[in-house]
Amino acid sequence: MNAPFSPSTLDKIRADLAAAPRQLFIDGKFVPAASGETFDVIDPATGQVFASAASGDRQDIDLAVKAARRALDGAWGKTIPSQRARLMLKLAELIEANGEELALLESLDNGMPIMMAKFAAVMGAAEQLRYNAGWATKITGETIDPSWPGEWHSFTLREPVGVVGSIVPWNFPFVMAVAKIAPALAAGCTIVLKPAEQTPLTAVKLGQLIAEAGFPDGCVNIVTGFGEKAGAAIVDHPGVDKVSFTGSTSTGRAILHAAAGNFKRVTLELGGKSPVVIFPDADLEKAIPAAAMGIFGNAGQVCAAGSRLFVHESIFDQVVEGVTRRASTLKVGGGLTPGTEMGPLVSQEQLDRVLGYIASGAEEGATVGIGGARLEGEGYGGYFVQPTVLTGTTAGMKVVDEEIFGPVLSTMRFGDDDIDTIAKAANASEYGLAASIWTRDMSSGLKLAKRIKAGTVRINGGGGVDPAMPLGGFKQSGWGRENGRAGVEAYTEIKAVSVAL
């Protein structure tokens, strides 16, 4: 088997990061923040600063938005669809060619295991571009017969929505950044992208690759910085036509309010508290490991993490024991440590949050079946928490109702076989992002799938995102959809044109 990375590449990356702060990418050029300010970038595996990045604020966002507007009115606006597709395919190739560096940056920055970084950051991003490149030449309007007197030729146009502000979180930084820009570019929009302050590095690298691919200046601008400064400036800016955001429900709500200024279009992909329902006839050899990795994968920092496990009482002990056994053997460590299956949490803030939730669970009467504590000592200098399984958890407890965004599983049993009763329990959440169902009886599986209030339902299969499959939330998990046709169309405005003949 090939080694996941070469140590000399890692040394080069580290030296390069230590040498100078990462800069903003505005109008095709790398520039420092107008204020000259930078912020520290911390390795979550060690808690140590290993890089820094320009701290963009209102002035930088304004320059980026103006550059994006010029590109929209100029070179990018005039680029024909097939050429847009070609550039996007070129960028996909460059991402793959730079895959090792991107995966290392992602793993250092976010803490995720290098193999996950390779798969999620590099391959996932390239596939987002390839899928959406196909749409560039396939965005169409329709012809319509209006019922007005006389004879008419009426049709719709789908035009780019304009300048898009893309705000992404830190849990899958690179693939999310690419998943935001790819459909927007296909639709003919220009972009101001802001990565999360915890994980700016792969987005900056993306800027280099965008320049190398030959996109016109200003087509994609990348401003690193804090949410309250750079992020808020995007949402407030009257020159931004749409904001696409992935992150917390509370920030999503703040964005909705702020977007009212100029009625920006808004797509929001927010939190979740996704149920996993295991029926007594399920294939447990598959369901148990999937339930475990559905919450421990990426240390639970996944919007669609299966954080509420519902198991039929006849197999409850067996399933919980199985998940607990997996937790006990899970190799927790730094993302670059060979064999690591689960990395650290992204930040001290996230560690405090997750440990706070575990403590609240204990206070509210939950039992910690396994885990429950911070991991410390040799090799665990950063923000490590044990994979945790809670039992005795019921709706109404904070650990069951609120998004933890850590490797903490709540477990509930159901005795009733009535699908409506099971659906009611699974739907007892203000969120509605995803759900998993495990059963060999497809009639039960599909009946439950229809009753679940969530944007994504999987039967007998685990996680993963596909650029063709719409992704988004019911209820407080968001507004609109990303991916698929809906994801591209979300970057267009419809115009109805009528000619009296």
Q: Which of 465, 472, 464 is nearest to 489 (CA)?
A: 472
Return the range that interacts with ligand NAI (CB under 6 A); candidates 25-33, 141-149, 228-236, 313-321: 228-236
Return the range that interacts with ligand NAI (CB under 6 A); candidates 50-58, 190-198, 282-290, 391-399: 190-198
Least distance (Å) from ligand NAI to the CB of residue 39? 11
DSSP 8-state code for residue 297: G
Rounded CA-CA distance 58/264 in Å is: 18
x/- letters, 54..93, toward ligand NAI (CB under 6 A): ----------------------------------------
CA 360 to chain centre: 27
Return the range that interacts with ligand NAI (CB under 6 A); candidates 56-64, 240-248, 273-281, 285-293: 240-248
Return the range that interacts with ligand NAI (CB under 6 A); candidates 191-199, 434-442, 446-454, 480-488: 191-199
485: Cβ–Cβ under 8 A, 6 or more apart, which residues? Answer: 135, 470
Q: Exactly one of 227, 467, 472, 480 binds ligand NAI (CB under 6 A); which one?
A: 227
Helices 81-97 and 173-186 meet at what angle, rounded to 10? 160
Site for ligand NAI in 403-442 (CB under 6 A): 403, 405
Return the range that interacts with ligand NAI (CB under 6 A); candidates 64-72, 241-249, 390-398, 449-457: 241-249
Q: State which amino acid sits at residue 432.
A: G
Rounded CA-CA distance 68/163 in Å is: 6
Q: Interface with ligand NAI includes 459 (CB under 6 A)? A: no
Three-class secondary structure of residue 227 per DSSP:
helix
Q: How many residues bind ligand NAI (CB under 6 A)?
A: 26
CA 383 to chain centre: 20
Strand partners, 29: 26
Least distance (Å) from ligand NAI to the CB of residue 202? 13
Least distance (Å) from ligand NAI to the CB of residue 402? 8
Residues in the chain: 501
Q: Interface with ligand NAI includes 194 (CB under 6 A)? A: yes
208: Cβ–Cβ under 8 A, 6 or more apart, which residues? Answer: 25
Closer Cβ to ligand NAI, 167 or 278, answer by number? 167
Site for ligand NAI in 284-323 (CB under 6 A): 303
Site for ligand NAI in 248-267 (CB under 6 A): 248, 251, 254-255
At 218, phi and psi to the nearest 5?
A: 85, -5
Least distance (Å) from ligand NAI to the CB of residue 176? 8
Q: Exactly one of 271, 344, 371, 382 binds ligand NAI (CB under 6 A); which one?
A: 271
Least distance (Å) from ligand NAI to the CB of residue 246? 5
Cα–Cα separations (whole angstroms), residue 253 to 57, 161, 164, 469: 21, 22, 18, 25
Element (H, E) at 97: helix 81-97
Torsion angle, alpha carbons of 305, 164, 221, 249, to 10: -30
- b (16+ CB within 10 A) / e for 146-156: eeeeeeeeeee
Closer Cβ to ligand NAI, 26 or 288, answer by number? 26
Tokens of 120: 């999620």
Return the range that interacts with ligand NAI (CB under 6 A); candidates 34-42, 185-193, 245-253, 440-448: 245-253
Tally Cβ neighbours within 10 Å of residue 171.
26
CB distance 371 to 406 below 8 Å: no
Active site residues: 269, 303
Closer Cβ to ligand NAI, 85 or 434, answer by number? 434
Q: Exactly one of 51, 92, 235, 290 binds ligand NAI (CB under 6 A); which one?
A: 235
Helices 81-97 and 124-136 meet at what angle, rounded to 10? 170
Site for ligand NAI in 154-183 (CB under 6 A): 167-169, 171
Least distance (Å) from ligand NAI to the CB of residue 434? 11
Closer Cβ to ligand NAI, 169 or 344, answer by number? 169
Q: Interface with ligand NAI includes 360 (CB under 6 A)? A: no
Rounded CA-CA distance 51/63 in Å is: 25
Strand partners, 384: 375
Q: Interface with ligand NAI includes 481 (CB under 6 A)? A: no
Closer Cβ to ligand NAI, 305 or 370, answer by number? 305
Tokens of 46: 């060690």
Q: Exactly one of 247, 275, 297, 407 binds ligand NAI (CB under 6 A); which one?
A: 247
Tokens of 100: 């090792």
Binding site for ligand NAI (CB under 6 A): 167-169, 171, 194, 196-197, 226-228, 231-232, 235, 246-248, 251, 254-255, 269-271, 303, 353, 403, 405
